[in-house]
Structure 1
């Protein structure tokens, strides 16, 4: 069965703390600035440095999404099992996560690094006066920074609970002191505030799928409202994204994870290249394909995906036979150019389906229509019952599990719907959130550990 944990904190604190503790022993404190800190007055001063700064912020998001965050979203649940020798993945699989688990520490630090990058842009961009930086481009860069910060705090909140919210660039340890942990609702309020700003500033074009746009902000807002059980708002914002002709459910199912990627399926995917690799494939593919085969589809999900009436064409997400079935969502062996899939249009259909089924005045026919849009793309027969509300809600949960079997959804879905106990046998709700890294607890009296750790 499974176990996990809850937390909060300030920016990139983990790396600061580790550096401070190591350097103190040598009697030499060196520079206690965050690892990604460049003095603001020097870092963003013209069009070139502004553009470089936002690319750096996206790179920070890539750094935590390329493998570790996805592992947080799949390993503690029931679609993926441990099949290797790396203890950090075994700990996630067994829901026995210590405060120094390498993956949770890396994600925690990585998200705050991305937030810090966004904070630097937000704080500095307004003072840049360069004729090469048009008002439109400045708005876009600023909107992207607000979106990146919103995504970071959203991912922190759903993984660790309410966190310490830092909205100014972290320049040294002093600015990290004295900020108390916010509640989960306060953290989500900050996410909403940033998404409102992002939507105002961001452009919308007909082709971009790997940078934030207005629709990207609306999509994350739909997800945020879903997590907050604000059904009408979740439906409204999902509808806005679904109505954008730039997005569609591509066929066959495997098209979105086939090079050259960037299909109409993706509302936001993070692009990697031969010079900026995503080596997550290595954890999924067997040795015969050059991988370590550390992460393996569970027998349960393999059976479902291979059932034509349930998985349909989604069976292309797995390969192999018998006890050697492996996931192939991440499949560019040796190249490492698989994207990280942050938001797909299929999610928006299922968000709207769930919102329609759960709102005060349910629209069950509408919910089933959205559910069937996803099923038809996968060549699965329609769900026929439009009157059984509980059955429809269960069918939507099941569809999410199949559609996003190896993307960071299943664990977070079970936690947000309070179903982790029923499905995984994980009845201790303390372990529905991850532990704050022990280095942060030791370094800052304002950081409170999550219950149970």
Structure 2
């Protein structure tokens, strides 16, 4: 939470909106100027849209276009949550043991000084929050008659949705965090940590406001799903309610998305799920296709796919635990996992499996090429899994409803239906297994699932790389020391 971010965020929001050429074309963003006052930024619908587009650009590419190839390892919203959640859990491992940041996550040996990962997540998340707060406050302060009421409402809803999305990851990574709802430095400089329950209350409040304000369609993104709509807010509410063990409301929210069959549907082919035209997509971020190195790859795909697709060494590989979790004939293993055979030394061959959900990376990307995938933020399969878990835990639908939803996900994966004779405990186990296979290497789902269901200590402490188990306290990351140094009202998580 750096003070200089507060001073410059309104300017950054507008300028960042122009980094992405296709985004500027889509939203008809006006050319940037060197100096812009808050009143000018929110003077018209077009200018306000530019500021909001800047927030999305920052989420997927960061501050400077020259660094966007590092976005997946530098931004919580471009791949860092996937990588850190995957290595802290039992999904991913860094193939380079010399990379200390991820080695300590993999081995459950984090200290306040041996990895920069917590600070990177924290700073990139709070930069996004400052951006959304700037939008909310700037719109509220604008008296321009040329700025329409409808645009004010929608853009405020978008900003609050993104703020809620970001806080969801902060509380799940750090526990209690400062609940910053303003860009006023005088109010934020000495903020202490807000109880997690209070942060969740704000998340729910923001999402309900977004639900009411956002359109039901994707008209703001010219029918691309790159701007959240009412159902994106509903989908995130479903997830939040599940995490809060509010199974009735989780079911209602998930069903609200699932039942909108005019807009959403499970893609029959797994290779179409992450495409820009995916009907399964609830919200995506659109990367550039004009950067000299990233070209038309999603940042996460650029990082996770090896430079030589089938002979190189991937930066992060799938663990044997995950590889062996797939049932025989599971199409998700066929289509969403690839492998590389790497010969480091004569007579020594290493086989690495890596995520292949994003199928364009360093080896096959093309400058200006067609974008075969957008970055998936939320998708429909999760809604079926949320509803199944809620039903398995006593929510509407019961065990039979849970089995029916699981079988929809399994059918697309080419697997046999689960029998109706499963016991409630067997259904809960089946839900966990389907989430592990369907949502692997996406947004740290596996790690968060293990933590919220109370199984992390048991499952993770049995993994060879994590022994001896340092303690369950590492299921929360440490508060960055640099933040505590700047703000003595912040306290450290226990045992760090």
TM-score range, shorter chain: 0.7 to 0.9
| 1:131 CA drift (Å) | 5.5
- In structure 1, the residue matched to 2:17 is none
Alignment of structure 1 residues 185-204 onto 2, 5 Å: 185-204=197-216
Q: Which stretch shifts more, 216-225 or 86-95?
A: 86-95
Query: In the superposition, relative to structure 1, how do residues 132 and 275 fare at CA in structure 2: closer, same or farther (>3 Å)?
Result: farther
Q: Which stretch shifts more, 203-212 or 106-115?
A: 203-212
TM-score (ref. length: structure 2): 0.79
**Structure with the greater relative contact order (CA < 8 A, sep ≥ 6): 1 or 2?**
1
In 1, the alpha carbon distance for the partners of 2:227 and 2:396 equals 36
In 2, the alpha carbon distance for the partners of 1:360 and 1:327 equals 33
**1:181 aligns to what SS in structure 2?**
coil
- In structure 2, the residue matched to 1:271 is 286
| 1:46 CA drift (Å) | 2.8
Query: In the superposition, relative to structure 1, how do residues 344 and 314 fare at CA in structure 2: closer, same or farther (>3 Å)?
Result: farther
In 2, the alpha carbon distance for the partners of 1:297 and 1:282 equals 16
Query: In the superposition, relative to structure 1, how do residues 99 and 275 fare at CA in structure 2: closer, same or farther (>3 Å)?
Result: farther
- In structure 2, the residue matched to 1:304 is 325
Instruction: Identify which of 57, 60, 67 aligns with 1:59.
Output: 57
In 2, the alpha carbon distance for the partners of 1:81 and 1:139 equals 44
Q: Which stretch shifts more, 150-159 or 297-306?
A: 297-306
| 1:211 CA drift (Å) | 1.2
Instruction: Identify which of 295, 298, 301 aligns with 1:281.
Output: 301
Q: Which stretch shifts more, 205-214 or 51-60?
A: 205-214
CA contact (8 A) 1:202 1:214 kept: yes
In 2, the alpha carbon distance for the partners of 1:83 and 1:92 equals 13
- In structure 2, the residue matched to 1:125 is 139
In 1, the alpha carbon distance for the partners of 2:470 and 2:328 equals 30
* Root mean square deviation, CA, Å: 2.4
CA contact (8 A) 2:314 2:352 kept: no
- In structure 1, the residue matched to 2:109 is 96
| 1:124 CA drift (Å) | 1.5
- In structure 1, the residue matched to 2:85 is 73
CA contact (8 A) 1:318 1:326 kept: yes
Alignment of structure 1 residues 308-323 onto 2, 5 Å: 308=329, 311-320=330-339, 323=351
- In structure 1, the residue matched to 2:66 is none
Q: Does 1:339 align with 2:358?
A: no
**1:304 aligns to what SS in structure 2?**
coil
In 2, the alpha carbon distance for the partners of 1:265 and 1:424 equals 31
Q: Which stretch shifts more, 337-346 or 385-394?
A: 337-346
Query: In the superposition, relative to structure 1, how do residues 34 and 156 fare at CA in structure 2: closer, same or farther (>3 Å)?
Result: farther
- In structure 2, the residue matched to 1:325 is 353
Unmatched tracts of structure 2, length 5 or more: 12-36, 63-74, 342-350, 462-468
| 1:248 CA drift (Å) | 1.0
CA distances 1:316-348 after superposition (whole Å, capped 9, x unpaired): 111126723222123312438653322110000
Alignment of structure 1 residues 47-446 onto 2, 5 Å: 47-62=45-60, 63=62, 64=75, 65-84=77-96, 85-100=98-113, 101-130=115-144, 132-170=146-184, 172=185, 174-205=186-217, 207-245=223-261, 246-257=263-274, 260-275=275-290, 277=294, 278-289=298-309, 293-305=314-326, 307-308=328-329, 311-320=330-339, 323-334=351-362, 335=365, 338-359=373-394, 363-408=398-443, 409-425=445-461, 428-446=471-489
In 2, the alpha carbon distance for the partners of 1:250 and 1:163 equals 37
Q: Which stretch shifts more, 94-103 or 153-162?
A: 94-103
**1:332 aligns to what SS in structure 2?**
coil
CA contact (8 A) 1:421 1:427 kept: no
How many residue pairs are counted as aligned between the two chains?
Answer: 420
Unmatched tracts of structure 1, length 5 or more: 1-11, 17-30
Query: In the superposition, relative to structure 1, how do residues 33 and 127 fare at CA in structure 2: closer, same or farther (>3 Å)?
Result: closer
In 1, the alpha carbon distance for the partners of 2:457 and 2:155 equals 42
In 2, the alpha carbon distance for the partners of 1:423 and 1:142 equals 41
Query: In the superposition, relative to structure 1, how do residues 40 and 76 fare at CA in structure 2: closer, same or farther (>3 Å)?
Result: same
CA contact (8 A) 2:90 2:460 kept: yes
Q: Which stretch shifts more, 311-320 or 41-50?
A: 41-50
